[in-house]
Structure 1
Amino acid sequence: MPVETIDTLIIGAGQAGIAMSEHLSAAGVPHLILERHRIAERWRSERWDSLVANGPAWHDRFPGMEFENSAPDAFPGKEEVADYFVTYADRIGAPVRTGVEVTRLGRNPAGPGFRAETAQGVIEARRVVLATGPFQRPVVPAIVPEGAGVVQMHSTAYRNPGQLPDGAVLVVGAGSSGAQIAEELLRAGRKVYLSVGPHDRPPRSYRGRDFVWWLGVLGKWDAPAPTPGTEHITIAVSGANGGRTVDFRRLAAEGMTLVGRTETFRDGRLTFAPDLAANIRNGDANYLSVLDEADAFVARNALDLPEEPEARRMWPEPSCVTDPILSIDLAEAGIGSIIWATGFAPDYGWVDADVFDDRGRPVHKRGVSHEQGLYFLGLSWLSRRGSAFIWGVWHDAKYLADQIVIQRNYQAYRGPDGR
C-alpha cells in the first residue's frame, strides 16, 4: 500500500478540526482531516438524549454560520449541534475522511514531519494538529467495585431515565452534566441523590442578558489559562428546559437529596465528605460575585438594563444541608444505579512524542508544542477561558493556522544561491 503524503494532517473532525480546516483552506495550506467515526460524533453517541448546548445559539457558533432551526436565544439540541458541523464542513469543503482511526503517530524516521499509521494505510505529514478535544477518556473513580450490586456508568453512557433499572439513582458530580442529568431523573419521578463537590455556580441570565454575554463584556472569556491544577473548575450551568440557573437548594426543595463529595465504599455503604454546606456556600459566593460585577458594569456604563433584586434571594437551607447525610447503605436507600459525572482525562497513548507531562497532559503554548510541527487544538484553557467553546476554538484555530503559515514561509525560503 503506497504511503500518502500531505502538508498538514488534522486528527479529529469535531468543532476543533472543522475550524482548523477553514483557516488552513483560507491560507492555501493543503491538509486532510481524519475522523475515526462521523463528524462531531461525540455530540451524537456520547451524550444523553436531552442534552442541549450550554450557550445560546447566537453565541455558541462559528462566525460564518448561524443555527438554522433555533432562535438566537434558544439552546440547540445535541443533534442540531452535530448537524451544524456536518453542514459547516460541507459548506467550506473540508477534506474530511471519516471512519479512519489513527492508531499511532510519531516522527517520520525517513524524513521531516510525522508518520500516522491507520488501518487504511500510512500518511506522512509535515505538520499535525491534534484536534481530538478535551473529552477523551471518561474518568470513573475506583470507589464502588463492579460487584456491588448496582448499575454504574459514566455520564457518557447515560441516555435517558428509562435506560436505568428501577430504584433510586445517585449522581456523582454537580457540574453541568451532573446537575442536568440529576434534574432530568427527578422530573421523571426518580428518587435522586446528588453528590455535590466544589463548583462555580453562575447565573444563567441576569438583568435580561445571558451569562455568556456577561462573560464577554466583563472580559472573562479572555482570562488567561490559570495556574496548573486549577484548569478544570466544575461549573454548574445549564441550557436545559429553556435555560435557568442551577440552584441546588431549589432542587432539594423539589425532592432531591444532596450529599457531599463521594469518598469511600465498604460493606454496601457509601460515605460522603462533610463539605456539602461549604461547597454550596462557595458556589453562592461565585454566583453573587458575578451579580456584583454585572451591577457595577451597568452603573459604570449607564446601561438601561432592568434591576433584578430577586436574583439575590436564596432558597431556604434544606435539611440535607443543615443536617448532612454522611453515609448511605445502598440497599436500604434503594439505590439501583450510580451515574459518575466525574469528567475526563487525556488519552494520547497513541502519540509517540515527548510533549506530555507526568499526568499525560499536553505541554504547549497556545497549542504550539516544542515538538516542531505538532499542535494541539480544542483543549480547555488552550489560550484562554473560551478555548473549549465552539466560538473560542474557532479563534484558537486561526492563531494556529497563522503559526503554520509562518513556518511554511520560512521553510519555503531559498537563499541567494537558490538552496
Structure 2
Amino acid sequence: MSHDETEVLVVGGGQSGIAMSEHLGRLGIDHLVLERDRVAEAWRTGRWDSLCANGPAWHDRFPGLELEGVDPDAFAPKERVARYFAEYAEMIGAPLRTGVQVHEVRRAEDGHGFLARTSEGTVRSRYVVAATGPFQKAAVPPIIPETAGITQLHSSAYRSPEQLPEGGVLVVGAGSSGVQIADELRRAGRDVHLSVGEHDRPPRRYRGRDNVWWLGVLGLWDMATPGPGKEHTTIAVTGARGGYTIDFRDLAASGVRLVGRTDSFADGVLRFREDLAGNLAGGDANFLSVLEAADRYVERTGLDLPPEPEAHRLGPLPQDALDPVLELDLRAAGITSVVWATGFGIDYSWLRVDTFDDRGRPLHERGVSREPGVYFLGLPWLSRRGSSFIWGTWHDARNLADLLDIQRGYARYDGDARVVATPAVARV
C-alpha cells in the first residue's frame, strides 16, 4: 500500500477534475487527481448508446482544445466527448491516477490537512477538491415495488431498445434524457408512454443561432441564482439527430402517449396527476419567452438575423392533454418496462467533514465549503447557471484555483512579509 503526500487532492477525473488540474498546474501547485474508473467514465458507460452532447462542439468544450473531427455546429457523440477529456488530460500533463477508489477523506488527526484512504493506500493533502459532479447516484422514486413484475431501470442503465423485454415502455421524466429515450423507443417500433412533469422547453435554434448562443448574449448563463422554484428545473432540449427543438405535440403525433406526472401505484395500476395540460402550457410559455427575449435583443442590437414568425405559432395541445389518462393498468396496457429518467442525487458519504446539511447537500459559497481547505466543483449553480456544464466548470475551476492559491499565500506567512507572494485576484 502506498502513502503519498500532495498539496491538493482532487477527487474525480471527469470534466471538473481535469479542469481543476489545468488551473492548479498553471499556478504551479502540486496536486493529484484520483478517478475510480477511467477518465470521463460517466460519458462512456453511464448513458445510452446514441447519446450526443446537448450543446454544439464550438461551445461544449474547454477553451484550450477543439473537438477535432467534429463540425463546430454538430453535437459530439458520447464516445468522442469521453475521448476529448482523455486527450485534454494528456495535453496538460494532469497528474492523474485512474482505477483508484477513494473510500474516505477526513481531517488528519494532528489537524494539519486531510487524510484520504483509497484502494491503493493513503494520501495526505493540505487541501481537498470534491470534483465528482452532480450525477453521483441514480434517483428512482419508490413508486413501483420490485415485486410488481415490471422491468425497471434508471436512464443511466438504459443502453438501447434491444435491452428491454418485448412490450410497451413507460418513460418517466420529460427532460433531455426522457424525451430522447422515448423518441428512440418509438422509432424502434415500441409502444411508448411518456410521463411529463414541469419543464422548460427552449428552442434548439432560432433565427439562425443555437440556444446556447442565445443564453450567452442574453446573459442567462451568468445568472447567479435560479428563480423561485427553479432549483431543479427539467430542461427539454436535445442534440440528438443533429439537434432539434423538442415539441411534445410532435412526440404525440408520432404515437407516443403523453400522461401527467407519475404519482402512485397499487394493484397493478399506475396513477398520474391531472397536470399534463398545465405542464405542457408551462413549457410552451418558457419557449415563447426565449423567442421574445431574442427578438428584443435583435431589435436592440440591429443584428441581421432573419425573423422566424412561424416559430411563435404553436398548435393546439395534443388530445392526451385535453382528455388525460389518469390511471393505467400496466398489464392491460401491455407495458413490460419502465425507464426512470428522473435525474440523480449526490453522494458525499466518503467526505467526512462538517460542511453538509441534514440532507447531505454541500454547504458552500461558490464552491468554498464551510470546512477550511475543502472545495466543491461541478455542482449545478455553484457560481452561475452554467456551472455544471463543460465550459462552465472550467471557469469555476479557474476561480477556485485562484482562491485556493490566495489561501496558500496566507498560510505561508510566518511574520516575514517577503515569504508571501502577491495573492492572485480571484475571478467571479
What TM bracket, shorter-length normalisation? over 0.9
User: Which letter does structure 2 place at the counterpart of 1:139?
Assistant: A
Matches of 1:112 and 1:418 in 2, distance apart? Answer: 23
What is the aligned partner in structure 2 of residue 373 from structure 1? 373
Matches of 1:377 and 1:318 in 2, distance apart? Answer: 41
Structure-to-structure mapping, 1:2-21, within 5 angstroms: 3-21=3-21
CA contact (8 A) 2:277 2:317 kept: no
What is the aligned partner in structure 1 of residue 261 from structure 2? 261
What is the aligned partner in structure 1 of residue 415 from structure 2? 415
In structure 2, the CA distance between the partners of 1:262 and 1:417, relative to structure 1 (3 Å rule), is closer
What is the aligned partner in structure 2 of residue 240 from structure 1? 240
Offset at 1:412? 1.4
In structure 2, the CA distance between the partners of 1:418 and 1:52, relative to structure 1 (3 Å rule), is closer
CA contact (8 A) 1:367 1:383 kept: yes
CA contact (8 A) 2:56 2:74 kept: yes
CA contact (8 A) 1:225 1:382 kept: no
What is the aligned partner in structure 2 of residue 191 from structure 1? 191
Matches of 1:78 and 1:382 in 2, distance apart? Answer: 24
Offset at 1:416? 4.0
What is the aligned partner in structure 2 of residue 115 from structure 1? 115
Offset at 1:12? 0.2
Matches of 1:34 and 1:114 in 2, distance apart? Answer: 15
SS in 2 for 1:336: strand
Q: CA RMSD in A?
A: 1.3
User: Which letter does structure 1 place at the counterpart of 2:38?
Assistant: R
Deviation string 1:169-190 (CA, Å, 9 cap, x unpaired) is 0000001110111111111111
What is the aligned partner in structure 2 of residue 27 from structure 1? 27
User: Which letter does structure 2 place at the counterpart of 1:195?
Assistant: S
Determine if the alignment matches structure 1 residue 168 to structure 2 residue 164: no
What is the aligned partner in structure 2 of residue 103 from structure 1? 103
User: Which letter does structure 1 place at the counterpart of 2:381?
Assistant: W
Offset at 1:316? 3.3
Offset at 1:414? 2.6
What is the aligned partner in structure 2 of residue 40 from structure 1? 40
Deviation string 1:21-58 (CA, Å, 9 cap, x unpaired) is 00000000000000000000000011000000000000
Matches of 1:368 and 1:112 in 2, distance apart? Answer: 18
In structure 2, the CA distance between the partners of 1:129 and 1:229, relative to structure 1 (3 Å rule), is farther
User: Which letter does structure 1 place at the counterpart of 2:384?
Assistant: R
Matches of 1:175 and 1:315 in 2, distance apart? Answer: 21
Structure-to-structure mapping, 1:230-379, within 5 angstroms: 230-379=230-379
User: Which letter does structure 2 place at the counterpart of 1:384?
Assistant: R
Moved more, 225-234 or 13-22: 225-234
CA contact (8 A) 2:32 2:96 kept: yes
Matches of 2:356 and 2:246 in 1, distance apart? Answer: 35
SS in 2 for 1:362: coil
Deviation string 1:231-250 (CA, Å, 9 cap, x unpaired) is 21100000001000010011
Moved more, 310-319 or 179-188: 310-319
CA contact (8 A) 1:47 1:157 kept: yes
Matches of 1:418 and 1:261 in 2, distance apart? Answer: 63
Offset at 1:70? 0.7
What is the aligned partner in structure 1 of residue 58 from structure 2? 58
User: Which letter does structure 1 place at the counterpart of 2:376?
Assistant: F
Offset at 1:226? 2.4
Matches of 2:58 and 2:338 in 1, distance apart? Answer: 35
User: Which letter does structure 1 place at the counterpart of 2:378?
Assistant: G
Deviation string 1:97-118 (CA, Å, 9 cap, x unpaired) is 0010100111011241111001
Question: Percent identity at matched positions?
Answer: 63
Matches of 2:2 and 2:398 in 1, distance apart? Answer: 32
Determine if the alignment matches structure 1 residue 395 to structure 2 residue 395: yes
Under a length normalisation based on structure 2, what TM-score does the superposition of the two structures give? 0.96
Offset at 1:406? 0.3
What is the aligned partner in structure 1 of residue 205 from structure 2? 205
Matches of 1:322 and 1:230 in 2, distance apart? Answer: 26
Deviation string 1:76-116 (CA, Å, 9 cap, x unpaired) is 00000000000000000001000101001110112411110
What is the aligned partner in structure 1 of residue 140 from structure 2? 140
Matches of 2:88 and 2:119 in 1, distance apart? Answer: 27
Matches of 1:222 and 1:95 in 2, distance apart? Answer: 31
Deviation string 1:189-239 (CA, Å, 9 cap, x unpaired) is 111100000000000010000000000000000001226863211000000
Under a length normalisation based on structure 1, what TM-score does the superposition of the two structures give? 0.98
What is the aligned partner in structure 2 of residue 156 from structure 1? 156
